[in-house]
Amino acid sequence: QVQLVESGGGSVQAGGSLRLSCTASGYITSYYMGWFRQAPGKEREGVAAIYTGDGRTYYADSVKGRFTISQDNSKNTLYLLLNSLKPEDTAMYFCAVATWTDRWLAPDKYKYWGQGTQVTVSS
């Protein structure tokens, strides 16, 4: 089994930055890791994903150029750097793992999920 624990959320003003972390435990070979978010009353949406085998990344258009996904394999940790935050980025952010997917930002393709970390951006 894979366990995921997110951290790093918080409250910031618009234009600010945060860095989210997701620490994974449990053995698994090359896989896809993604960051997703869910605001109250809205569906969960994919934000960014990375293929750990070769580092390829994929971003939602809404965050492209502002968010950066990265990994530290030595620490089994996934990161999401959030820059130029906007009030509409306010949501619970989750990390997730898929062993394979052809749709990198589709939540239903991911099997393992963390509990989430809250990001709140005020105007």
Predicted local confidence at residue 26, as pLDDT: 79
Nearest-angstrom CA–CA distance, 100 and 34: 12
Rg of the chain over CA atoms, in angstroms?
13
Predicted local confidence at residue 5, as pLDDT: 96
Predicted local confidence at residue 27, as pLDDT: 65
Answer whether 107's CB lies under 8 Å from 96's CB. Answer: yes
Contacts of 48 (CB under 8 A, 6+ apart): 34, 35, 57, 58, 59, 60, 63, 67, 68, 69, 80, 105
Predicted local confidence at residue 83, as pLDDT: 98
Predicted local confidence at residue 6, as pLDDT: 97
Per-residue pLDDT of the chain (123 residues), as tens digits, is 889 999 999 999 999 999 999 999 876 666 899 999 999 999 999 999 999 888 999 999 999 999 999 999 888 899 999 999 999 999 999 999 998 889 999 999 999 999 999 999 999
Contacts of 123 (CB under 8 A, 6+ apart): 13, 14, 87
Predicted local confidence at residue 19, as pLDDT: 98
Predicted local confidence at residue 100, as pLDDT: 87
* 46 residue type, one letter: G
Per the listing, tokens 């085998």 go with 53
